[in-house]
A and B are shown apart, each in its own frame.
Chain A
Amino acid sequence: MRAIGIILAGGNSNRMKELSKRRAVCAMPVAGSYRSIDFALSNMEFSRVSKVAVLTQYNSRSLNEHLSSSKWWDFGRKQGGMFLFTPSFADANSQWYRGTADAIAQNISFLKNSHEPYVIIASGDCVYKMDYGKVLDFHIDKGADITVVVKKMPEDFNVERYGTVRMNEDGRIVDFVEKPVLAESNTISCGIYVIRRRLLIELLERCREEGRYDFVQDILIRYKGVKKIYGYEMTAYWSNIASVEDYFRTNMDFLDAGIRDYFFRQYPEVHSKVEDLPPVKYNVGVKVRNSLLSSGCIVNGTIENSVLFHQVYVGNNCVIRNSLILNDVYIGDNSIIENCIIESGDTIQANSTYKGEDGVKIVVERGERYTI
């Protein structure tokens, strides 16, 4: 591969509400048995990008735990591999990452010490499958300076928290607006970029001199007239999970047979850390409808239109509807849960009721656990 990879995994989002207290967005559990970053990492692996830097910052403990071994994505190599970069404090001038560009700039030696001519930058909070090699081919074909992967969203899609672009017939981006209040375009940036390594180094160094830190504002938008920035349109499934609503919807998307087939059964496979958990056990009095369950669960109650992540215990006579139950949750007997996201590690006492009335309710319950 002629490119190295950078995965931006430092971000936090207050749109994730209570869910972001525990972990970085990229470490959010997705689709029952994955973490958000698995998708970008697996894409890198599948695109045969053999050297990947993961830039983390905010609350990276659970992300680090997930990435504690690179072997699940086949990155335990002598040539290349996976590198985790957190802000390091060496001298008085050390800083947290002040933005996406700054995060890369602070690790510029990773770019300088590589020999591959291109860099693929991806964010770790999106769910999709993609061959970055195709984007790179497009980038070279067009003679682009920077290529941005874009996606045309449905008319009713709220683009407020995305960057929107307008392109000419040739695919060159003529307009780029970050988080528009009044959107003129429903084509959004997917946060995936291809750029020549030397150009990136040059732009980052210039940014740094000027005290600019954001990749989108200070590179893409600032240079859009000067540099040839092209949009590569992707048509397959893509979803960003960085708000509670989008996170909930993305997980529920996996109840759709087509999307499940696309991610779970079709090549290429998405890889994740192997959890070594036993098969799901269904006892007596179980009713499961239109739901996903992950390994290690023990089920006694009723589950409808829901996603259960690893190691969830569901007690007798429980009713779980339209909810996400994250990893390692214990739900006591006779509990009713509707329209909720139950946070990882929760213990729901017997006879509890949680219902999201308007919108999804996030439940964080740190009760003591007596059984199991």
Chain B
Amino acid sequence: MIVKKEMIAMLLAGGQGSRLGILTAKMAKPAVSFGGKYRIIDFPLSNCINSGVDTVGVLTQYMPLRLNSHIGIGIPWDLDKNVGGVSVLSPYEKSINTEWYTGTANAIYQNIEYMESFHPDYVLILSGDHIYKMDYETMLDFHKENGADVTIAVMPVPMQEASRFGIMITDENKRIVDFEEKPAHPRSNLASMGIYIFNWSTLKEALLANASQPNLDFGKHIIPYCRDNGRPLYAWEFNGYWKDVGTLTSYWEANMELIDIVPEFNLYEEYWKIYTRSQTVTPQFFGNNSFVERTIIGEGSEIYGHVFNSVIGCDVTIGENTVVRDSIIMNGTVIGSGCNVTKAIAAENVTIADHVTIGQGDDTPNDTRPDIYRDSLVCLGEGTVIPDHVSIGKNVMISGVTRNEDYPNGYLPSGSTLVRE
């Protein structure tokens, strides 16, 4: 019996996302929590199943444990299929030339056999680090209508920001005539979103022809190769919400956008659901002295304190007389009583004891990674423990089990980095 899928998706989820700092110390970026109960990879995975793409290869490499256990056999996304479904593809040993995934296209190249087994007409290339809802089926229709070999999803960006992106220059039929990577003087404002539909034959040919290229990359090698060989490349314009959560600041902002009265990115629509693996289904509880405003909160959390402008995950506890503001608190974190937490990103299973102040002080830049830990954010790594009665400044990163002696005079000044086992 021959297996046949019209379009399969390959989801690149192997990158670290080092600009997310301590959040990706123990897990790949697509596994990082987002929006209270979700993880970043839930968005492209849900898009796949909502678009009718039921065969997804997820390419993992960096710290895959959390990602693997999250995906499992794909039950939350209905991707537990008899044929197809979700497969986690990690680098593997070969009889000759064993290597890691050395580039985006190299990772796809190493899985030609996987793709071949489904006899696809089209292959959709996705990355696992964006927040958006997109109907890939509409994109495929566009691809077919235009007789394209490659279709690249693009979105219009403000002209002054265009030099930060890969820019596509198109003719009036949306056919791509040229492209530039981060041009100083952009000729167009259509930025590539890193989402591609290839005719399988075109992709396979391009991958094989460039197999020996070191760090084989879609943007740098495969797309130029297709252009140079006269393949018809088209740009499909996307105008919905799309957010790259590549840096801590953009990650924080994207979370905060979810708490607007009518958020631009609406999770409450019935027809394009975002699915995730839920560890818990229980309701959340509010104590007698709690107060909450402009906040979203996940299942099973218990709130006894005050929460403003925040995104709270599942099974979080916030104690009495504690005030949490402008913060992202991820699954399983416990904050004691009498705390004051401002602009914090607390990763999963953080413990903050009683009477802790976070995010108060001057704006001294971070002493180790001022490029990552900035904008007054305080970042607490997974499983961090903060002892009682300490005060923590801004632009601080803390990871590991810290004790009172780590806080001279009970104070960790702005810009500090504190890492313990």
Contact = CB atoms under 8 A, between A and B. Distances in A.
Contacts of A272: 281
Given A31-B283, A284-B293, A289 B267 contact: no
A281 to B, nearest CB: 5
Interface in A265-302: 269, 271-272, 274-276, 278-296, 298
Contact of B267 (A274, A275, A278, A288): A278
Nearest to A372: B268
Which of B273, B275, B297 has the most chain A CB atoms closer than 10 A to its own CB? B297
A307 B288 contact: no
A33 interface: yes
A255 B75 CA distance: 32
A291 B288 CA distance: 9
B296 A293 contact: no
A32 B283 contact: yes
B283 A289 contact: no
A281 B296 contact: yes
B325 interface: no
Contacts of A34: 281
Given A276-B275, A298-B268, A32 B293 contact: no
B351 to A, nearest CB: 16
Contact of A260 (B261, B285, B292): B285
A264 to B, nearest CB: 4
B76 A293 contact: no
Given A283-B261, A283-B294, A71 B75 contact: yes
Interface in A32-62: 32-34
B417 interface: no
B288 A290 contact: yes
Contact of A33 (B267, B281, B291, B292): B281
B213 interface: no
B297 A280 contact: yes
Interface string B268-295: 1000011110101111111111111111
A278 B268 contact: yes
B interface SS class:
loop
A282 B260 CA distance: 10
Contacts of B289: 289
B291 A280 contact: no
B: interface residue count bin: 35 or more
A293 B286 contact: yes
B35 interface: yes
B259 A293 contact: no
B273 A294 contact: no
B55 to A, nearest CB: 20
B293 A283 contact: yes
B285 A291 contact: yes
Contacts of A293: 283-284, 286
Contacts of A284: 261, 293-294
A85 B280 CA distance: 29
A245 B288 CA distance: 24
Contact of A290 (B282, B284, B287): B287
Nearest to B286: A288
Given A33-B281, A274-B281, A282 B293 contact: yes
Contacts of A279: 35-37, 267, 296-299, 311-312
Contacts of A71: 75
B267 A292 contact: no
Interface string A256-268: 0000100110000
A282 B274 contact: no
A33 B268 contact: no
B282 A264 contact: yes
A281 B285 contact: no
Contacts of B259: 281
Contacts of B287: 289-290
A298 B300 CA distance: 16
Contacts of B75: 71
Given A32-B283, A33-B283, A296-B268, A282 B288 contact: no
A291 B304 CA distance: 11
A297 to B, nearest CB: 9
B291 A287 contact: yes
Contacts of B297: 279-280, 282
B288 A289 contact: yes
Interface string B121-135: 000000000000000
A290 B286 contact: yes
Contact of B299 (A31, A295, A307): A295
Contacts of B280: 264, 269
Contacts of A296: 268
A305 to B, nearest CB: 9
Interface in B306-362: 307, 311-312
Nearest to A274: B278
Nearest to A309: B283
Interface string A5-45: 00000000000000000000000000111100000000000
A320 to B, nearest CB: 12
A281 B281 contact: no
Given A280-B284, A292-B285, A33 B293 contact: no
B24 to A, nearest CB: 23
Contact of B296 (A282, A289, A290): A282
Interface in B64-111: 75-76
A295 B274 CA distance: 13
B284 A292 contact: yes
Interface string B142-186: 000000000000000000000000000000000000000000000
24 contacts: A33-B282, A254-B283, A260-B285, A272-B281, A274-B278, A275-B281, A276-B276, A278-B267, A279-B35, A279-B267, A280-B296, A280-B297, A280-B298, A282-B307, A286-B293, A288-B292, A289-B286, A289-B288, A290-B288, A291-B286, A294-B284, A296-B268, A298-B268, A308-B283
Interface of A: 31-34, 71, 254-255, 260, 263-264, 269, 271-272, 274-276, 278-296, 298, 303, 307-309
Q: What 3 pairs between A and B have smallest CB-CB spacing? A: A32-B283, A279-B36, A278-B267
Given A279-B312, A293-B283, 4 more contacts: A274-B281, A279-B36, A282-B292, A308-B283
